[in-house]
């Protein structure tokens, strides 16, 4: 899967990576409130103008970070090895997907908090449609007796609220991962 961007110069790619890595580190160390262009520029070792030129503004920077994670997971689902990628039974793929998505949300919990303060990413609809289609197809295959579309959306919404950052900040990531797995397994059990 490609994100449609032209190939970038080596120095631009280095700066981009330094900015994204610095933002990730600031989020992890100081939380969502730490993301200012001045702090990111200082942490990345670039001028603030470089960030504005590359991303436009704080929203653009956060959009890039969200898209990078989403596109990586989408690639793993479409082209990666099983069980996340093709080739595994639907129930195994669904469990692998929710594990991967929960880990993505956990690893990016402060990013998600910061992201809620900016307008939605221009590709949000595309990303959500991809998750929805993927989950629905796997649920239909694994549990044809369910309303796969609604049940899938309910499952996904379980990792999209305030509970995740609260549990991450409390150091309860393993508990969260186990609970999401239990929830998906309970849906996969046939009556």
Nearest to 145 by CA among 88, 187, 181: 187
pTM for the complete prediction?
Answer: 0.83
H/E element, 186: helix 173-188
Residues 119 and 25 in one domain: no
88 and 180 in a common domain? yes
The DSSP secondary-structure symbol of 6 reads P
Radius of gyration of the chain (CA): 18
pLDDT at 4: 55
2 pLDDT tier (thresholds 50, 70, 90): very low
> Are 180 and 103 contained in the same domain?
yes
Q: What is the mean pLDDT of the chain?
A: 91
pLDDT tens sequence across 46-83: 999 999 999 998 889 988 988 999 999 999 999 999 99
Domain boundary among 56, 72, 103: 56
3-state secondary structure 87-151: CCCHHHHHHHHHHHHHHHHHHCHHHHHHHCCCCCCCCHHHHHHHHHHHHHHHHHHHCCCCCHHHH
Burial class of residue 9, CB neighbours in 10 A (0-12, 13-18, 19+): exposed
pLDDT digits (tens, 9 = 90+) for 96-128: 999 999 999 998 888 888 888 888 888 999 999
Q: Residue 7 carries which DSSP code?
A: P
Same structural domain for residues 51 and 66?
Answer: no
How many domains does the chain fold into? 2
Q: Is residue 73 located within the same domain as residue 19? A: no
Residues in the chain: 191
For the chain, give the percent of residues with pLDDT over 70: 97
Task: Please report how the helices 58-79 and 90-107 are oriented relative to each other, as an axis angle in degrees rounded to 10.
Answer: 160
Domain span holding position 97 = 57-188
The CATH number covering residue 61 comes to 1.10.357.10
Same domain, 141 and 74: yes
Q: Are residues 23 and 64 in the same domain?
A: no
Q: Are residues 80 and 51 in the same domain?
A: no
Q: Based on the domain organization, do 77 and 51 belong to the same domain?
A: no
CATH number at residue 23: 1.10.10.60
């Amino acid at each position: 899967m490609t994100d449609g961007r032209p190939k970038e110069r080596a120095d631009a790619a280095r700066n981009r990576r330094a900015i994204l890595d610095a933002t990730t580190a600031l989020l992890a160390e100081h939380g969502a409130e730490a993301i200012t262009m001045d702090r990111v520029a200082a942490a990345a070792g670039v001028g603030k103008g470089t960030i504005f030129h590359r991303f436009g503004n704080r929203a653009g920077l956060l959009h890039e970070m969200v898209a990078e994670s989403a596109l990586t997971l989408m690639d793993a689902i479409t082209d990666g090895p099983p069980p996340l990628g093709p080739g595994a039974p639907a129930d195994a793929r669904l469990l692998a997907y929710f594990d991967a998505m929960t880990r993505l949300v956990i690893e990016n919990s402060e990013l998600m908090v910061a992201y809620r303060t900016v307008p939605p990413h221009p590709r949000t609809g595309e990303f959500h449609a991809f998750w929805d289609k993927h989950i629905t197809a796997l649920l239909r295959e694994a549990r044809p007796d369910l309303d796969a579309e609604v049940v899938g959306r309910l499952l996904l919404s379980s990792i999209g609220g305030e509970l995740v950052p609260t549990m991450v900040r409390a150091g309860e990531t393993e508990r969260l991962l186990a609970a999401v797995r239990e929830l998906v397994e309970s849906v996969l059990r046939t009556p």
